[in-house]
Chain A
């Protein structure tokens, strides 16, 4: 897996009022990377929900606590195909998430709460959560549609 280039790096306070700013930035970034409109909205929603979870649960609603958001261009090359995408890392130093709640809940149960993880999973191809030494990291990956390598296209002509 080859990672190239930092596209966006934000240091945020755990304040709900900052979320609209982040949404705007992620939306524009996803658009610039060539994601379809629905995917841009999904990625924006995923990041927003992840940050909201950190504010509400990891920091228990305390404002001014540190959150870092990193966005990288991602490029995989496997078996004549290359996949490009967006890798998003969200790091906080609050309480670790309850892993049982990272699975999401059944949507057949109509009740408030518990939808955020469902929104995240719906929007991304990869969701990984790690917690070590008071540092929690959520890694999200969304791939662009796979494209054939240029050499393969030349061979086919």
Chain B
């Protein structure tokens, strides 16, 4: 898995590729929480377009990120979900909990 960060004014976009599973979800969790708790970034957007797989630990990392965002009055936005990622969030009944968009432009305009 690889993660790179782009910054646009008050927004951080994390481009994630690979699998967010037990081996790699701790890194996703660490970076997302860092953006909210240390950087106090107002808006963090996760680009999941190149994510092939998300397991329950990955979902847990996203939920933790969402809670951290709400704690500091920031926003966590997801876009580019693969069918597998969409399926996992649907199974977890979390699709309506997250802000989810199809494209980066839509996420930035939101």
Bound-state CA distance A118–B22 (Å) is 16
Contacting residues, chain B, for A41 (C-beta < 8 A): 84, 87
Q: Shortest CB–CB separation between residue A122 and chain B, in angstroms? A: 6
Known contacts A19-B21, A112-B63: A48-B91 contact under CB 8 Å: no
Interface size of B in residues (CB-CB distance below 8 Å): 22
A92 to chain B, nearest CB (A): 15
A56 touching B22 by the CB < 8 A rule? Answer: yes
Instruction: Report A94-108 CB contacts with B as 1/0, cut-off 8 Å.
Output: 000000000000011
Chain A residues near B59 (CB-CB < 8 A) = 112, 115
| Contact status of A116 and B94, CB under 8 A, knowing A17-B23, A20-B23 | no
Contacts of A122 in B (CB 8 A): 91
Contact in complex: A16, B23 (CB < 8 Å)? yes
Q: How many A-B residue pairs have CB under 8 A?
A: 59
Which residues from chain A contact B22 at a C-beta distance below 8 Å? 16, 19, 52, 55-56
User: Which residues on the A side are within 8 Å of B92 (C-beta)?
Assistant: 107, 115, 118
Query: Which of B22, B91, B94 has the most CB atoms of chain A within a 10 A radius of its CB?
Result: B22
Task: Given A107-B92, A122-B91, decide whether A112 and B60 contact each other with a Cβ distance below 8 A.
Answer: yes
Task: Determine if A52 and B19 form an interchain contact, defined as CB atoms under 8 angstroms apart.
Answer: no
A110 touching B21, Cβ below 8 Å:
no
Mask, B58-97, CB within 8 Å of A = 1, is: 0111011001000000000000000010011001111001
- When C-beta atoms are compared, the residue in chain A nearest to B94 turns out to be A110
- Taking A52-B22, A52-B56, A55-B22 as contacts, is the C-beta distance between A110 and B97 under 8 angstroms? yes
**Structural contact, A119 and B91, CB atoms closer than 8 A:** yes
In the complex, the chain A residue whose C-beta lies closest to that of B83 is A41
Question: A41–B84 Cα gap in the complex (Å)?
Answer: 8
Interface hub of B63, B64, B84, B91 (most chain A Cβ within 10 A):
B91
B53 CB-CB contact with A under 8 Å: yes
What's the least CB distance linking B28 to chain A, in Å?
A: 12
A-side contacts of B60, CB under 8 Å: 112-113, 115
> A1-27: contact bitstring with B at CB < 8 Å (1 yes, 0 no)?
000000000000000110110010000
Listed A/B pairs (9) with beta-carbon separation below 8 Å = A17-B23, A55-B22, A107-B93, A110-B63, A110-B94, A113-B60, A114-B56, A115-B60, A119-B88
* Shortest beta-carbon contacts, A-B, top 4: A112-B60, A16-B23, A115-B56, A16-B22
Add 6 more A-B contacts to A45-B88, A56-B22 (CB < 8 A).
A16-B21, A110-B94, A112-B61, A112-B64, A116-B55, A118-B91
